[in-house]
């Protein structure tokens, strides 16, 4: 099995995680994600079964990952993620409120039918 690191940057890694439908995270998870990436890139860079080019790239990312996580682009990524989460949360709340309103309308209509 050939391990291919996402091309380019930590931002690409974060976008890969974001694109995974099984994962949902916000800026609250930023430190956990950082620690997981540190651990992963350390393992790859220390591995005896990974090709040297990949190991060098993983080592380079590992060496700079904490500084990279402080960059403006990473902050903006998490801000956008939080914004998208808030939109989904609002959509769910609106959907829930519409459902509650439909139930209340149905109950009122049923009560009026029973009164006639």
pLDDT tens-digit series, residues 55-91 = 999 999 999 999 999 999 999 999 999 999 888 878 6
* Amino acid 91: pLDDT: 67
Q: Say if residues 77 and 14 touch (Cβ distance below 8 Å).
A: yes
* Amino acid 116: pLDDT: 61
Calpha distance 77→9 (Å, rounded): 13
Domain ranges of the chain: 10-115
Percent of the chain surpassing pLDDT 90: 47
pTM for the model stands at: 0.67
pLDDT tens-digit series, residues 4-46 = 444 448 888 899 888 887 888 889 999 999 999 999 999 999 9
* Amino acid 99: pLDDT: 72
């Amino acid at each position: 099995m050939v391990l291919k690191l996402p091309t380019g940057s930590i931002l690409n890694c974060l976008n890969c995680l974001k694109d995974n439908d099984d994962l949902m995270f916000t800026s609250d998870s930023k430190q956990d994600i950082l620690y997981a990436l540190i651990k992963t890139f350390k393992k790859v860079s220390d591995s005896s079964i990974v090709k040297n080019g990949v190991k060098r790239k993983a080592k380079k990312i590992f060496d700079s990952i904490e500084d990279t996580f402080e960059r403006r682009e990473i902050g903006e990524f998490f801000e956008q993620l939080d914004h998208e989460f808030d939109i989904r949360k609002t959509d769910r709340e609106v959907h829930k409120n519409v459902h509650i309103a439909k139930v209340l309308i149905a109950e009122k209509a049923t009560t009026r039918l029973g009164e006639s």
